[in-house]
Structure 1
């Protein structure tokens, strides 16, 4: 088969046909990667270093920084009546899920709906083509229906499933970085900074390690600067994160503000509790690990061990039985 392909390439492009193909493939790869190189995002550490040095950002980068949601997609806006959910409760639930996944853009709901429709219709068409042209004629009708509908259903629900996995991953990242953020916040508060300044400093410092958590705290700081009520802003953060530790932290701050108690003392106690909970979660994962390894051990270690130990005995018994039957 390779000789036939090589002969066809040689007859079509000449003796140097494979060189032309390799050069064309390399050129296509370069053209495909060029937009990614030109639109490369600024690394968090470089951006923080430039901001500390007072370097003025480019116009496009400044606009992107000021507009957290970015620009609207005009192509999706044309089909807004088809892409926006008609049920207000469903639209609100989808928007909340996307915000928790880290997609607060105004067109996030439309993008998700468009991805579901396009992927579902695309795989449905592929399933129909496979059923009509590639399956045998004697295949049952219900099997043809399954071959056609199942890819479409998978394509429709795959984007939402991916968003849900993204929500779980982002919540895990926030939960892992929350104890370190509390320790840094406590240090800033005890150093004499106000709560707003401490949140900004803490969010800036932890951004390279925990960008999702830093984004939430920086959003809180910006909303406080805009004049929104502090309790409302903190409750909004707890609703966006949907994590018990964050909700308890918000409750502690609101109660400290309401009763006039020291925020530093409340943060110190809560930070100690969060460190203990992180240790307990690590110990829980360590205790569950042997149970998970048991399945792999039983599947991949025990059968070869039994073959090694019992195999020679079974072979000897079979030879003895065969010799006895010969007599």
Structure 2
């Protein structure tokens, strides 16, 4: 039988195999892009629904006198109730732990606080599942036969830590993304608040107007301002609405805005001038942050420059000269 000649290789890898893998990845990416374009949905629909539910809850809390009836009006999930009962039976559910997780969920944009028990359950179940997976990979199978016992134990320990910290890392990632999005739009929102205050609008009307104007550009910030406007209209204490805004956003700038709003509500200080000063400070802070990133850019680009740009540049510059020298030497030998 005749053997098929091996294909060309590059750095020890089969060029045909690598090309086939890249073509498959590109085809999957195109199919995913087409699917995402076909199934695109309006992101504001879900936000408006959540805000309407919050409005109905606040209205029910004011209209209904009985505390038992208030809690029955608020929607509760049967699944989370079962999880809560299971954790309470194991004596592992603490009120302080639940309150911390609820604040993280609120900062991540998840309005249903009852899902905090699901995160706590994930902390308990995650190490068991990931531990079994790590034991199957590192001890029960021959996936890494050349690894020593220390490497196997280290890999098993990493899977356990990932299982325990996985839910927290997922929620914290959502919090960080939402915080960055809110930080970008906060100076523009304060400028619009200044304009609304100078135009004579009330605070709740100003928050609602800013939420409508910035809802498309900064949906996270528009969501928070819309919810604050609803709470200002329905809560008996306006201070509580501002404190809820600081509770839901993990950002010192928002806490400064909340403190300013509370002081203006209590002492009657001019709102427009205070917000104008805060807006200028936040814009300067954003500019300094951009300058800091620009200053780090040369150090970050050093490694890509050495690995990818300089070799190609040398090939383009020295390639023709090397080819001409090689041709001249071959012609001289002949």
Question: The TM-score by the shorter chain falls in which range?
Answer: 0.5 to 0.7
C-alpha distance in 2, partners of 1:202/1:260?
A: 22
SS at match of 1:242: coil
C-alpha distance in 2, partners of 1:47/1:110?
A: 23
Deviations 1:205-227 (A, max 9, x none): 21222222122222222222223
| Shift in Å, 1:179 | 0.8
Larger mean CA deviation between 166-175 and 303-312 belongs to 303-312
Q: Is residue 216 from structure 1 mapped to residue 224 from structure 2 by the alignment?
A: yes
What corresponds to 1:80 in structure 2?
84
Structure 2: gaps spanning 5 or more residues:
1-30, 59-72, 323-334
Q: Is residue 297 from structure 1 mapped to residue 305 from structure 2 by the alignment?
A: yes
C-alpha distance in 1, partners of 2:118/2:129?
A: 16
Q: Is residue 128 from structure 1 mapped to residue 128 from structure 2 by the alignment?
A: no
Structure 1: gaps spanning 5 or more residues:
1-28, 52-56, 314-327
- CA separation of 1:266 and 1:135: change in aligned 2, threshold 3 A: closer
C-alpha distance in 1, partners of 2:133/2:243?
A: 46
C-alpha distance in 1, partners of 2:213/2:306?
A: 46
Q: Determine which of 157, 160, 163 is the counterpart of 2:165.
A: 157
| Shift in Å, 1:230 | 2.2
**Which runs of structure 2 are paired with 1:302-313 in the superposition (5 Å)?**
none
- CA separation of 1:239 and 1:137: change in aligned 2, threshold 3 A: closer
C-alpha distance in 2, partners of 1:76/1:47?
A: 21
C-alpha distance in 2, partners of 1:267/1:305?
A: 52
Whether contact under 8 Å (1:183, 1:271) holds in the other structure is yes
| Shift in Å, 1:77 | 1.8
- CA separation of 1:279 and 1:122: change in aligned 2, threshold 3 A: same
What corresponds to 2:70 in structure 1?
none
RMSD between aligned alpha carbons? 3.9
SS at match of 2:120: helix
Q: Determine which of 88, 93, 104 is the counterpart of 1:97.
A: 104
SS at match of 2:113: coil
Q: Is residue 265 from structure 1 mapped to residue 265 from structure 2 by the alignment?
A: no
| Shift in Å, 1:163 | 1.3
Q: Could you tell me the TM-score, scaled by structure 1's length?
A: 0.67
Q: Determine which of 230, 238, 246 is the counterpart of 2:246.
A: 238
Structure of greater relative contact order (alpha carbons < 8 Å, 6+ residues apart): 2
Q: Is residue 187 from structure 1 mapped to residue 195 from structure 2 by the alignment?
A: yes
Q: Determine which of 208, 216, 221 is the counterpart of 1:200.
A: 208
Q: Could you tell me the TM-score, scaled by structure 2's length?
A: 0.66
- CA separation of 1:79 and 1:152: change in aligned 2, threshold 3 A: same
- CA separation of 1:308 and 1:63: change in aligned 2, threshold 3 A: closer
Count residues in correspondence.
269
C-alpha distance in 2, partners of 1:267/1:256?
A: 10
- CA separation of 1:208 and 1:259: change in aligned 2, threshold 3 A: same
Whether contact under 8 Å (1:64, 1:70) holds in the other structure is no
C-alpha distance in 2, partners of 1:121/1:227?
A: 44
- CA separation of 1:150 and 1:291: change in aligned 2, threshold 3 A: closer
What corresponds to 1:285 in structure 2?
293
